[in-house]
Structure 1
Amino acid sequence: MGYSAYWQDLLLELVKAVPTRVDVRRFWDMRTIDEARLREIYHAQGYYGKDLEDYVLWTKVYVAFPDLIARFTKGWITEDDVRSELIALGMPAERVETMIQTKIKKVAGERVEPERTA
């Protein structure tokens, strides 16, 4: 290569492929990687500090939210369980409420009852 062994190793590190963000989400979704590896891959992609923390949180919530809603609608967990899980991941409580409101229809008894008896 014409470079010293020291530089060869460093240059080879530069050309190694890093999994894409889509791949990382899929890995995380299937839990084929743990959080340490999730962070390691995002770090290798060039994310540091607050950006790294934001990507880790986003990945966890992006993957968890549809699954939580599916489990709720199928009766496996409660709406409170959905809230608790999202808050435990690090989402602010007020944002959790907004996210839930976009996916879970609030039943209004007084509007539904007359339709059933008609």
Structure 2
Amino acid sequence: MEDYEGGEKIVEKAEFVTNIVGSEEMEHNISQILEKIEHFTDLVSELLESGKAIMKQLSNEFEERMIMIHKEQIEKWQEEIKELRLLDASNVQAHALLHDAQYLLRNAHADY
């Protein structure tokens, strides 16, 4: 009899563990939560991929814009350098002309 009682106790413990592990309703609830976890994980993954794509696009647009701004600024400064060189050449010419005029005036003044 003892063996039978001992066996009966083991069966009762097994049923109790099964009930703790999960009734059909609990298993269904757990299954729903697991589905929510899977859905949420998929959503997060999609958002991460979408975010990466957006950031890459923004990064490319930013890089292109910065390169264009740099190019435009360099061209502007190169034009300023060109204008300064033209102005300098004009000033050198005007200075030479004034120097020659001054020389002529001194010589003309000395002759009279």
Q: Same fold (TM over 0.5)?
A: no
Say which structure, 1 or 2, has more relative contact order (CA 8 Å, 6+ apart).
1
Q: TM-score, structure 2 length as denominator?
A: 0.29
Structure 1 or 2: more helix by fraction: 2
Pair member with larger Rg: 2
